[in-house]
A and B are shown apart, each in its own frame.
Chain A
Amino acid sequence: MNRLTGIRRFAGVLVGGALLLLSTGVISETAVTKGSKAAGLDSCVAPTAVMRRNHMDFLKHDRNMTVRKGIRDTQYSLAECVGCHAEKDNAGAYKPVNAEGQFCSSCHSYVAVNLSCFQCHRKTPEVKSGSGTAMKSDGPFQPESLGLLQSPDQPVLLNRDELARLHATVKGD
């Protein structure tokens, strides 16, 4: 009898442990998909916790600014969500962000919140269109545009004085 309860208790602990592992896996693991641009960045346009809690308010606020007032350089924009969080498949094509297992839908299906943005909005970043000039384009990557960041073929050499002066300029004193 004692032995049986022991086994049952042990099984209970095992099951509980497995459930705990599963749940922490879902909660703590980041939803950012591996093949997306966002995976290479430290954080979103605001700290992750803030974005998780408030992204819907941010988007709602800035959509009104953009549609009604024509302000297009808002800090939060759905187009940038899609641009950063869309993952590429093996063929190099973007997967829709609301497809099963992708960034938007993974959380939204977990918390059972309907995601209606993409009934109207584009689900993948635009791959170089001829005429669509509405959105900001990043343009080709220019190493020179990064200023003093070192490039492998042309290292930037500064002596101590130059560095101090540069710091003074950057800090504004």
Chain B
Amino acid sequence: MSCNSDQPDMNRREFLGKSVLAATATVVAPGVMLTVANASEEGASSAVRWGMLIDTNKCADGCTACVDACNKENGIDLMQRPAGQADEMWNAQRPQWVRKVKLRDKQTGEISNLPMMCQHCEHPPCVDVCPTGASFKRADGIVMVDRHTCIGCRYCMMACPYKARSFIHQDVAEQLTGTPRGKGCVESCNLCVGRIDAGNSTTACQDACNKDGHQAILFGDLKNPESAIAKALKAESSHQIRADLELNTGVRYTNI
């Protein structure tokens, strides 16, 4: 990256006031600063792939701890219903990163509950269809939206087989620092990316589920054979939802 060349050189003013030596130092300094000293260059690494294993047997009927924790962590609970909007419309349009799904086997009547969120596919359809490149997959497998380039076309919402994405239909008055949000962009579960980048090893939904004593959600690195999630996946059979689409999801379920 470089500064716009059509702009006047700021250092020229200093050059007039100071010696040639001082001016040279200040000309060199911004370039060095931009290329070298900017950041640690330690970001998302392709050596890890974040994923989740959800035990539907442990997911309790009527419990919404994960949904509530997600809403709090990502500032979704800060959103206000637009004045005069009907309940039905508000419930259909408000963002939802994780939802509780209840399934009933028609034949046996068996009921299973599971939390449903972005499945963080290896081959995400939302990324395939995005016309601007806003929908993308990080090196560590987290699928997310770059709101700076999202134009709000909602093509990704149509492409997603899991109904995982939400569109912001209204102006948003207050956001959290870690989760910007504004009218006209699509968003979805990002596996609490801010936490992960800060070095934490749990998501908000997992913490909430554990706190309530269910321990249905296990989050971790799929590529590390020593991680708890990799061991659990090796030990018992798990399923991808819509495995027929061959998306290789990062979120897996057992006992469904």
Contact = CB atoms under 8 A, between A and B. Distances in A.
- Whether A associates with B in a native complex is yes
B44 interface: yes
Interface in A56-112: 57, 61-65, 67-76, 79, 82
Interface stretch (B101-109, B159-167, B171-179): B171-179
A134 B41 contact: no
B177 A126 contact: yes
A49 to B, nearest CB: 5
Contact of B43 (A57, A71, A120): A71
Chain A interface size range: 35 or more
Contacts of A82: 177
A122 B74 CA distance: 13
A121 B194 contact: no
Contacts of B193: 70, 134
Contacts of B179: 134
Contacts of B4: 57
A73 to B, nearest CB: 5
A53 B43 contact: no
A67 B177 contact: no
A62 B204 CA distance: 26
Contacts of A46: 30, 33
B182 interface: yes
B194 A134 contact: yes
A43 interface: no
B3 A120 contact: no
Given A69-B44, A120-B182, A133 B198 contact: yes
Contacts of A74: 38-39
A63 B148 contact: yes
B198 A72 contact: yes
B185 interface: yes
A63 B146 CA distance: 10
Contacts of B185: 120
Interface stretch (B55-63, B136-144, B218-226, B236-244): B136-144
A135 B176 CA distance: 10
B178 A134 contact: yes
B138 A70 contact: yes
Contact of B140 (A49, A54, A70, A72): A70
B40 A71 contact: yes
Contact of B73 (A53, A64, A120, A131): A131
B190 to A, nearest CB: 10
A28 interface: no
A50 interface: yes
A38 B172 CA distance: 27
A49 B37 CA distance: 19
Contacts of A53: 3, 7, 10
Chain A CB within 10 Å — which of B43, B44, B177 has the most? B177
A132 B177 contact: yes
7 contacts: A50-B30, A68-B136, A73-B40, A120-B185, A125-B177, A131-B72, A134-B194
Cβ-closest 8 pairs across A and B: A134-B194, A134-B178, A120-B182, A70-B44, A69-B43, A70-B43, A71-B43, A120-B180
Interface of A: 46, 49-50, 53-54, 57, 61-65, 67-76, 79, 82, 119-122, 125-126, 129-136
